[in-house]
Each structure stands twice: as C-alpha cells, then as structure tokens.
Amino acid sequence: MALLQIAEPGQSPLPHQVKLAVGIDLGTTNSLVATVRGGRAMVLPDEQGVAMLPSVVNYSEQGTALVGRGAQAMSADHPSDTLVSVKRFMGRGRDDAAAEASRAHYQLAEDDEGMVRFVTSSGEISPVQASAEILKLLHRRAVDTLGNELDGAVITVPAYFDEAQRQTTKDAATLAGLKVLRLLNEPTAAAVAYGLDSAERGVIAVYDLGGGTFDISILRLHQGVFEVLATGGDTALGGDDFDAAIADWVLQQSDTETPQPGQYRKLQGRARAAKEQLSSDTSATISLDGLTPAGGAVALTRECFEALIQPLVKQTLRACRRCLRDAQLDDAVDNVVMVGGSTRVPLVREAVSEFFEREPLLDIDPDQVVAVGAAIQADILVGNRPEGDLLLLDVIPLSLGLETMGGLVEKIIPRNTTIPVTRAQEFTTFKDGQTALAVHIVQGERELVADSRSLARFELRGIPPMVAGAARIQVTFQVDADGLLNVSAREQATGAQSSVTVKPSFGLSDDQISGMLQASFSHAQEDKQARQLAEQRLEAEQLLEGLENALAADGDALLTPVECAELHAEMKRLQETLDDGELSALRLQTEQVGRASEAFAARRMDNSIHRALAGVSLEALEDGERK
C-alpha cells in the first residue's frame, strides 16, 4: 500500500509553490489589477488586451450590474443608472456627498447610519456595492488569467483617505471575495513601483493627475518606513477639465450655441480623444458631425491646446508649492514620481520638471504605476520573497486621541506614527463617586475637541465609586495594518471593560483633511492659547467646586462671618472671570482665590488632624457622618 503524503498544517505540499497575489488600483476614473510573475510586475489585461477598466457601473432594471466600457457606453442614455466616480462617495455621509451628487446628477438616498446610497433602477445601491462590482470583475479577470483562486490582494487608497473611507474600501473588497492583505497608500505604491523603498532614505514627491482629481504627496523614506509629510491637491481638477477646455474652445470656434447635455457629452468624448492624441502628435482633428447642423471638423494644434490648459497646469503647481510648504522640508526632494493618465500630456511633464528642478520618473506607465507597486507589495505580503524583503510600513494621516475634561484633545497616537501600532494611556475620573466614563474618540491636529473630527463615542460602566482621581482607567488605541482603529477602555481594579471599533458614519473629504492639517499649522499659536485657557478654566472650576463643598461642610464652624463673606466675594469674582474667558485675568483670580482660601484650608487640615489624634479615624468619622 502506498503511503499518502500529508502536508503539515499551514505548509503547502509543494514547498516552493508560488502564492497568487495581486495589487489593485481602485481609481476614480479607471481601475487596474497587476501581479508579479517570474519576478516581474505586470498589469493583467482583459480578453481584448486592454488593462484599464473604466470605474463605471451601470445598473439595469433586471438588477444586473454592467462594469467598464459597456457601462460607460450607457452613460449618455441612462445617466442616473450609470455610476461614475463612485470613489468620491466612499465612506461619505449623505450631506457630505450632496455637492458631488449634484455634479453627477445622481439621486441620493441614505441608509440607517446616514451613509450615502444611489437610487437606481435596480434599487438603492451603496458606494461599497458599486465598488465591489468593479473589484469583482478585476478579481475574476485575475483568477481567469492566473488559473487559480488568489491568496490575497493589496488595494490602494489615496493617502488622505480617513478611517471611514478605508473601511468602506476594505468592505468592498471583502464583498468582492478578495482576501485583503493590506490597504496601501497610492503615492507609496507608486514609490514602491520605482523601487524607491530600497534606498536608505529620501524625500519623494508624487504628482498624481488623473481624470477628475489631482493629488500631490510628499513622502519621506526612512529605514523602510514611508512617512506622509504632507498631502494636497484639488478634488475637482484633472484630465476631464482638459477635455472641457477643448470642448468649450470648439464651441467658440464653430459659433455653436450651448448644445444639449447629451451632445455636449459626445463633444467631450471627442475632445478627450483629441487630447490623448496630442500627447504624441502635434495636431488633432475634432469632427463636428452630428454636433452642429453644418458638421465639418476643426483642427487643434498642440500649441493651442497647451495655451488652453496652461491655467489648469499652473493651478496644480500652486498646490505643489503649498504642499511643499506644509511638509516643512529642509532639502529639495530627491525624486519626483509621475502618476495618472494626465501626466502623459507633455506640457504637464515640462511644468513639473521645471517646478521641482529635476527630471520626473516616468519609465513606468503612469496609468499602471500604482497597481504595479501594489502588486509588488502583495507579492511580499503573501511570502513569495522569503529572502527577506523589507515589509513596507505606512503611517496614520491624522492624529488620533480622545476628549478630556474641558473639551481638550489628548492625542494618543500622533499623526505619522507607523502602523500597526498600539498605544495605551491611563485616565482617571473627574468627580467623586463617578461610575461611568464617556470615551469620545477624535481625529485631527487641533488642541480642542470643537476643532477636531469626532470619530466615535462609547461608555465604560461599572467603575467602582471612588473619590475623583482615584480610579485608574487604561485606554488602549490600536491601529491595524490597514489603518483601522480599535479603542478599548479597562478599569484596572474591577477589570470592567468596553471597546469600540471605529467605523464612523461620515467620512472626510480630502479637502477637509488637508484643511484640517493646514488649520493645525496655522492655528498652532491660537491652539496653544486655547489649550492653556481650557486648562486654566478647569483648574478654576475644580477649585470652586472643592471650596463650595468644603464651605458647606465646615464654613460656619471654621470661618468668621466676615472671612466667609470675603472668600465668597473672591469666589464670585473668579466665577465672573471664568465667564469672561480671558486667560491672564483667570490665572490671576485663580491664584487670588487660592490665597484667600489658604487660612480656611489650614484650619480644616488642623481640624482633621485633631480629630485623628482624638483616636477617631477619618473613615470612622465619615461613616459616622453618613449614618
């Protein structure tokens, strides 16, 4: 009888079998899947040999979803059933997304948690479902090409994506049957594609001009860790605007009145084709057949095209300048990486190279560079490079912390900390006998909760009643490799525990994130003062509360009526300065009340010592009082 060979658990029967892993660039305009084969990263094309999949999903009355070029073709006739730029809606609340929707002519609804949904002929569709359709198609394409089920995938997201946007991206991938190894920042993926991660150190600018968005990221590499120094850009600037500039010029040239929306879309399509042709040719022809009664064609030279888009290109450079300033660099950047289809435009290349004073890297197809980097990372993560390639680490884009008394933010994990990370800090109670603690998790760089973004709240109950400040509550923040946050709180004496995984119902737009970052830079001084004021207020409030309790207990016994009146007057003044909210006055008056109450405090202490010396313990006294 032949012996059957059985592999050890967790080990493959073929020790050197290569695992199948892919990288997916889930783009606003186009999506791609790539893998590493024979040591080389390559994108996987469809049956027609086309790698790029338009990120467009069409829903029909039959409830079927059509993805890609087919869906794109339906866009003119079925605008509300054809979802484009779904990425802009990921992890966003209904109100958040209203502006996006009006641009896209969608009808929106919301789910129970206030998250946005699209109203289509197939019913209400969430951005997660629509993204999952795109991912499903790429998943199927990879399985068909590679001949087997995948072991894992790396999905890229913009560096500025927040918790909610990352979580929904991961949800979409899971829904598409993919095993997500890691979410990876798009600029980081682009840097990896160029092998920049193997350098010792360096500063990298990633200039990503896509269809509808412009992103600029400044990364710093240090010992295998990419740190996002700054991100910036424009969510409403991209190749589509180049198309629109051409279309408007054509209308001017041909003296055509504003055409019907359907016709304008047709014209935009022709403008886009001309634009793409002008990246290699010096002139292109745009046909007017079916657009104007007379028909015919107009010729567009590259020179003329460049004049049309010059202001738009300048706009991207302004964003670059801001981003560089935010990054607070001492030296120049070492490398500039070009990403996105629109960086094929020669004028864009020239402008970028002139701005950064160095030749940008553009050997790798700018459409594919993000997917290629993701594939390389996926290959490492599934363990295909046992010779020990460094695992790439990412960092969190905005600080995470919680609210403490006085509306202040205590940062637990500062921005740019590499993930995964776990940080714990001890907190205590504010009031005597407090048995519950409200934990409010916030994100952002500012000192005050009011200026930060609220992520989640939860309560820790079952704290044994103790005097204020005696309970010890350990709060732990844990961010996993995908940037998802889990927060738990534990009371040390009883072990009472409570936790929450942060999946906030409203995402932030990139504008808001860069706005929040910028605000934290420009408000640093203001914030410091606000924090000082809040801390001073807290001190004053605690002093007043303590004094009031003490006066109620011992005031009559230990103070003369005159002393009592004087102390009350100082306390009243402190209350007034508290209401005014002026820092130096508040500080002075707090000190004043402290001095005015010194004698009272001393007498109280004497008194309690006397009582103790009389052989009565304080506990017994208090017990006696309670009876």
Q: Whose Cβ is closer to Mg ion: residue 300's or residue 339's? A: 339
- Give the whole-angstrom CA distance, residue 387 versus residue 196: 19
Total residues contacting Mg ion by CB under 5 A comes to 2
Indicate whether 239 belongs to the interface with ligand ADP (CB under 6 A): yes
Select from 26-34, 56-64, 470-478, 604-612 the region that touches ligand ADP (CB under 6 A).
Answer: 26-34
In contact, 54 and 69? CB cutoff 8 Å: yes
- C-alpha dihedral sign at 434, 440, 445, 449: negative
Binding residue (CB under 5 A) for Mg ion from 210, 212, 239, 507: 210
- Among 81, 171, 208, 243, the active-site one is 208
Binding residue (CB under 6 A) for ligand ADP from 342, 452, 520, 597: 342
Q: Report the alpha-carbon distance of residue 463 to residue 471 in Å, rounded.
A: 8
The reply to whether 272 sits near ligand ADP by the rule CB under 6 A is yes
In 377-452, the DSSP E strands lie at 394-395, 400-404, 408-413, 418-419, 421-427, 436-443
Identified catalytic residue from 100, 162, 186, 445? 186
- Rounded CA separation 67/266 (Å): 20
The reply to whether 240 sits near ligand ADP by the rule CB under 6 A is yes
Who contacts 196 (Cβ-Cβ below 8 Å, separation ≥6)?
202, 204, 221, 335, 337
Least separation in angstroms between residue 421's CB and ligand ADP is 29
CB of 444 to ligand ADP, least distance (A): 27
Footprint (CB under 6 A) of ligand ADP, residues 356-375: 367
Q: Select which of 81, 87, 162, 394 is catalytic.
A: 87
Rule CB under 6 A: choose which of 20, 23, 29, 153 binds ligand ADP.
29
User: What six digits make up the tokens of 17?
Assistant: 């079998």
Cβ-based nearer residue to ligand ADP, 340 or 401 = 340
Q: Is 186 a catalytic residue?
A: yes
Site membership for ligand ADP, residue 156 (CB under 6 A): no
Applying CB under 6 A, does 93 fall inside the site for ligand ADP? no
Min dist. Cβ of residue 367 to Mg ion (A): 8
SS (H, E, C) 2-33: CCCCCCCCCCCCCCCCCCCEEEEEECCCEEEE
Output phi, psi for 30, to 5 deg: -135, 150
Asked if residue 27 binds Mg ion (CB under 5 A), the reply is yes
- Cα separations in angstroms, 53 against 73, 82, 286, 495: 13, 15, 25, 52
Q: How far apart are CA 355 and CA 60, in angstroms?
A: 47
Q: Does 360 interact with Mg ion (rule: CB under 5 A)?
A: no
**210 is written with which tokens?**
């896509």
Residue 345 is a binding residue for ligand ADP (CB under 6 A): yes
Stretch 181-210 residues interacting with ligand ADP (CB under 6 A): 210
Assess whether 556 carries a catalytic annotation. no
Query: What whole-number distance in Å separates Cα of residue 436 and Cα of residue 432?
Result: 11
Nearer to Mg ion, 81 or 241 (CB): 241
Closer residue to Mg ion (CB): 27 or 504? 27
Does the annotation mark 526 as catalytic? no
For residues 519 and 604, give the distance between their C-alpha atoms in angstroms, rounded to a whole number.
48
Q: Does 117 bind ligand ADP (CB under 6 A)?
A: no
Residue 292 burial class via C-beta count within 10 angstroms: exposed 0-12, middle 13-18, buried 19 and up: middle
For the annotated catalytic residues, the residue numbers are 25, 87, 186, 208
Which residues of the chain form contacts with ligand ADP (CB under 6 A)? 27-30, 210-213, 238-240, 272, 275-276, 279, 340-342, 344-345, 367
